[in-house]
Amino acid sequence: MSKPLTKIFALVLALAACQTYTSEAAAQQSDTGGSAAGDFGPPQGDPIQAVLTSAPNVPPPVNRDYPAKVIVDMEVRELDMEISEGVTYTFWTFGSTVPGSFIRIRQGDTVEFHLKNHPDSKMPHNIDLHAVTGPGGGATSSFTAPGHEAVFSFKALNPGLFVYHCATAPVGMHIANGMYGLILVEPPGGLPPVDKEFYVMQGEFYTVGKYREKGHQPFDMQKAIDENATYVLFNGSEGALVGDNAIKANVGDTVRLFVGNGGPNLVSSFHVIGEIFDKVFQEGGSRYQENVQTTLIPAGGSAITEFRVEVPGTLIIVDHSIFRAFNKGALGMLKVEGADNLAVYTGKEVDNVYLGDKVMANELSIVSDIAEAQRSGMVTKEQQIQAGMVLYNGTCSVCHQQNGEGLEGIFPPLANSDYLMADQRRAVEIVLNGLSGPISVNGVPYSSVMPAMSQLNDDEIANILTFTLNSWGNEGGVVTSDEVAGIRAATERPEGAAD
């Protein structure tokens, strides 16, 4: 073949390939017609009471072929609830949970929205639903003082997964306290059936105390303005989607996650470790991208992700802005049960690298049980040892190993360590400030670097060291939280360490 002919042939081939691709794309991305197409006329039949669910549950599909009047009853409550083990926060909620109740309706439905504000509330509240076409998304019409109720109606013209939130001044503060949720407006034909549907919503919290600092933590306005989040969470609490609260599926299931981001400030890099999203309806809209690893979810936005689970094990849901996952709480779990499929994956079931102290999230309740005792100074040595073991396994064992033996020539042993036992204050200083340079443990020289672990709080360090001092042949001892606090105040953190 002469040169020009080859070129033409290649061009024809390329065009043909392009043709199939665009026609397939056209099939999946037909125009929905937007809001102009969404008015299917006046509501028909008897009014329907909306089924509302709290995360991670999703109401059943609408399963209706006509537009109806749907009544939504939602109550705002201001509640003290756990944000992390041993840490409480005053959440402002739509329906007593963060995120707020999930609402599921059909395009063309007329929603009669009843917003009640519980008499115990201290603040007025309202609701702005991104599914509303109209000024403020319902905000002005729904303004409700404590002990009152507001009613307004709207017609859902566009299908999609929409965020709703409070928009009462100061708006940022109401959202930061947990006032957001999701409303799904199904297209007329509904969504294709799947085996499991879940509701996951990210939001960040700004507290006066540090991450995991025990006790009741008030909102910190300056941190919120600076966008310096203390917690980044799925479903309003660090424990919401781990351990016993993990969402569950079986091998072979198709799973659909309705994911929202309440913000108030941060954009989410939503990712499930060990899965690939077969489909992502980006930004909660009508079109989908396929074969996606991580999807960006804006504050005040959403995404619908779909995938099939092929192998058993624990899939870890994270914000892949990864310090948020491991140091601010943005971590959840999807536990998949069923038979191995070694052709797809041969690895071990639980991945310690990712799970860390969350491997034993159930046992973390030990940590919270003793947190209370620790606060009142009534903690026993045995309790400290129990909590310390869980924390050690999630924090120190990566280097010093679960059995305390370390790794020859690299990580010194904590088991039977003469260096550890010689000076308890020095041990606290090592955890707080790190250690480098030549040392000798049981006659063996080490010259390496241990990073400062000052991101651990005083309770945690006290418990880990008490566990260490009483394990693997070490001779015992007790480190108290006060002792750690005193040494923290009296010593300098190395450059770059957490406070």
The contact set with ligand HEC (CB under 6 A) reads 395-396, 398-400, 411-414, 417, 419-420, 427, 430-431, 435-437, 439, 441, 446-451, 453, 464-465, 468
* Cα–Cα distance for residue pair 398/394, rounded to 1 Å: 8
What are the distances in angstroms from CA 21 to CA 26, 29, 419, 463?
9, 12, 67, 60
Binding at 398: pick from ligand HEC, Cu ion, none (beta carbon under 5-8 Å per type) = ligand HEC
Query: Of 287, 305, 308, which is closest to residue 296 (Cα–Cα)?
Result: 305
* Cα–Cα distance for residue pair 306/304, rounded to 1 Å: 7
Per-position DSSP letters for 263-282, written without gaps between them: ESSPPEEEEEET--EEEEEG
By beta-carbon proximity to ligand HEC, the closer residue of 192 and 437 is 437
Smallest distance, ligand HEC to C-beta of residue 350, A: 19
By beta-carbon proximity to ligand HEC, the closer residue of 374 and 471 is 471
The verdict on 179 binding Cu ion (CB under 5 A) reads yes
283-314: burial string, b at 16+ Cβ within 10 Å, e else = bbbbebeeebeebebebbbbbbbbbebebbbb
Tokens read off for 42: 């006046």
Smallest distance, Cu ion to C-beta of residue 237, A: 19
**Around Cβ 449, how many Cβ atoms within 10 Å?**
8
The verdict on 174 binding Cu ion (CB under 5 A) reads yes
Smallest distance, Cu ion to C-beta of residue 264, A: 12
Smallest distance, ligand HEC to C-beta of residue 437, A: 5
Smallest distance, ligand HEC to C-beta of residue 232, A: 23
Smallest distance, ligand HEC to C-beta of residue 239, A: 22
Instruction: Report CA 15 to chain centroid distance, whole Å.
Output: 44
Binding at 464: pick from ligand HEC, Cu ion, none (beta carbon under 5-8 Å per type) = ligand HEC
Selected from 58, 150, 166, 318, the binder of Cu ion by CB under 5 A is 166
Decide: residue 326, CB within 10 A, 0-12 exposed, 13-18 middle, 19+ buried. middle
Tokens read off for 395: 């924090």
Binding at 57: pick from ligand HEC, Cu ion, none (beta carbon under 5-8 Å per type) = none
DSSP element (H, E) containing 232: strand 231-234
The verdict on 155 binding Cu ion (CB under 5 A) reads no
The verdict on 125 binding Cu ion (CB under 5 A) reads yes
By beta-carbon proximity to ligand HEC, the closer residue of 330 and 396 is 396
The verdict on 299 binding Cu ion (CB under 5 A) reads no
By beta-carbon proximity to ligand HEC, the closer residue of 203 and 412 is 412
Tokens read off for 376: 């009142």
By beta-carbon proximity to Cu ion, the closer residue of 74 and 390 is 74
Q: Which residues bind Cu ion (CB under 5 A)?
A: 125, 166, 168, 174, 179
